[in-house]
């Protein structure tokens, strides 16, 4: 049967994270209003940088891990600011949170006005991680413990780097926790995926935040615009790269529809297989790059049928003899190579009909998910029967771990538009 609306068991987790961020933000505003704003110049400069960073999220793709890296780096730099042009700062933890929240809200107002405001989860993570960084640094620095033991040399810079690494790890834990609550995917693979992402834009944000804090400490606020330029240029380059990837994916999706337009496969088959394959791959712990290859191969897995003189009845290749499946897979791999798609995608397509002991992990997933979608009908009985047939084929055709992983994903509701199985 097709999955309908399901309860959201992760709603309490999402509510708890958002509630903690809201409480911290309100506390920061309250304390700042009560005690007054320390060093207004610093607060204005960093607040402006954070707001501009949020404004620069124009063109960010939905779900982008860090759509406002300049704002994130500025917020972390303010949290780790101990001196400005040689003069000690006293803004503390709560004022840091208040400035970050106020500047962030100011920067996202234009996006909200256009109906493209950032997700609340991302903003809550920003508030909590900046509060964590400030809590780890400001009390120690204001008490004189940092300068007394580390001075202002390389040891101090290393201390800032370590704090930012710890903050990035906390952010990854929060991001994986929220994704787990929203998707139901296992926490371990989600956390691994977030940790891998730290090597990309996350490391650039941490490095820029450290350099900003050190630059302002030595040269004053004039260092901020100079140090912000490299990260802004990196952000623009990343957006262009992301736009190219989006165009490539749209091209692949259009090619995948060719089999449906030609009547070789049922409507929506390629997209159902791609969505469910991505869910299974994430369950098995595949990385971001591996997931991209898997999704593209799943979209194009039936493209070899365009080379057939006689179409397969109903497009269900899982019911064909092994040699016919292998021939269609090889034809598909050759077609994919001619489209200019990366070689890894073509390899998955052409090896999807091999015995599973000879297949790469992505090909094992595509074969099992394609067979499931071919065999499953619109009823729960047909879906359960399809899973049972896959289990009976685990001696040669379908990897046992992939089949059981597929069963778990389906029991949780599968993926949007995918035939599901009633748990139990």
Question: What's the distance, CA 94 to chain centroid?
Answer: 29
pLDDT of residue 183: 76
Q: Is residue 64 predicted with pLDDT exceeding 80?
A: no
pLDDT of residue 6: 44
| Reported pTM | 0.75
The residues near 4 (Cβ < 8 Å, ≥ 6 apart) are none
Burial class, 363, CB count within 10 angstroms (exposed 0-12 / middle 13-18 / buried 19+)? buried
Q: Is residue 361 predicted with pLDDT exceeding 80?
A: yes
The residues near 54 (Cβ < 8 Å, ≥ 6 apart) are 68, 71, 103, 104, 106, 107, 108, 111, 118
Buried b (16+ CB within 10 A) or exposed e, 26-55: eebbebbeeeeeebeebbebbbbbbbbbbb
Burial class, 145, CB count within 10 angstroms (exposed 0-12 / middle 13-18 / buried 19+)? exposed
Six-digit token string for 416: 């949007």
Q: How many CB atoms lie within 10 A of CB 417?
A: 12
Mean pLDDT of the chain, nearest integer: 83
Q: Is residue 316 predicted with pLDDT exceeding 90?
A: no
Over residues 1-13, the pLDDT tens digits come to: 334 444 445 678 8
Least confident of 49-53, 184-188, 406-410: 184-188
Q: Are 82 and 141 in contact (CB under 8 A)?
A: yes
Listed in sequence order, the DSSP H helices in 85-202 are 92-113, 120-142, 145-150, 154-183, 187-197
Q: Are 167 and 148 in contact (CB under 8 A)?
A: no
Q: Is residue 423 predicted with pLDDT exceeding 80?
A: no
Six-digit token string for 398: 């379908």
Least confident of 121-135, 172-186, 377-391: 377-391
């Amino acid at each position: 049967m097709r999955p309908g609306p399901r309860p959201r068991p992760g709603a309490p987790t999402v509510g708890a994270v958002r509630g903690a961020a809201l409480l911290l933000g309100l506390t920061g505003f309250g304390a700042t209003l009560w005690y007054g704003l320390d060093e207004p110049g610093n607060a204005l400069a960093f607040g402006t940088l954070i707001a501009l960073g949020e404004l620069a999220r124009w063109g960010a793709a939905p779900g982008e891990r860090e759509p406002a890296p300049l704002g994130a780096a500025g917020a972390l730099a303010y949290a780790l600011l101990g001196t400005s042009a040689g003069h000690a700062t006293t803004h503390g933890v709560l004022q840091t949170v208040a400035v970050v929240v106020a500047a962030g809200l100011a920067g996202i107002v234009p996006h909200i006005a256009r109906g493209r405001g950032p997700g609340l989860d991302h903003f809550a993570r920003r508030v909590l991680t900046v509060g964590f960084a400030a809590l780890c640094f400001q009390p120690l620095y204001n008490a004189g413990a940092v300068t007394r033991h580390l001075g202002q040399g390389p040891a101090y810079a290393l201390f800032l780097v370590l704090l930012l690494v710890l903050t990035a790890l906390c952010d990854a834990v929060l991001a994986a926790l929220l994704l787990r609550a929203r998707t139901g995917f296992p926490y371990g693979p989600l956390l691994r995926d977030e940790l891998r992402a730290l090597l990309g834009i996350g490391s650039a944000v941490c490095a820029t935040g450290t350099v900003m804090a050190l630059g302002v400490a030595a040269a004053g606020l004039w260092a901020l615009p100079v140090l912000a330029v490299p990260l802004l240029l990196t952000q623009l380059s990343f957006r262009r790269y992301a736009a190219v990837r989006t165009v490539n994916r749209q091209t692949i999706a259009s090619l995948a529809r060719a089999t449906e337009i030609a009547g070789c496969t049922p409507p929506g088959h390629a997209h159902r297989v791609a969505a469910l394959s991505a869910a299974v791959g994430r369950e098995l712990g595949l990385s971001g790059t591996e997931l991209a290859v898997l999704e593209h191969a799943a979209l194009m897995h039936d493209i070899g049928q365009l080379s057939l003189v006689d179409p397969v009845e109903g497009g269900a290749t899982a019911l064909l003899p092994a040699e016919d499946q292998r021939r269609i897979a090889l034809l598909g791999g050759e077609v994919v190579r001619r489209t200019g798609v990366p070689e890894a995608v073509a390899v998955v397509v052409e090896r999807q009909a091999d015995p599973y002991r000879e297949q790469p992990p992505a090909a094992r997933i595509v074969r099992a998910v394609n067979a499931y979608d071919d065999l499953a009908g619109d009823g729960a009985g047909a879906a359960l029967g399809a899973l049972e047939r896959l289990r009976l084929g685990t001696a040669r055709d379908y990897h046992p771990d992939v089949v059981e992983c597929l069963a778990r994903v389906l029991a949780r509701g599968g993926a949007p538009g995918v035939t599901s199985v009633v748990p139990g």
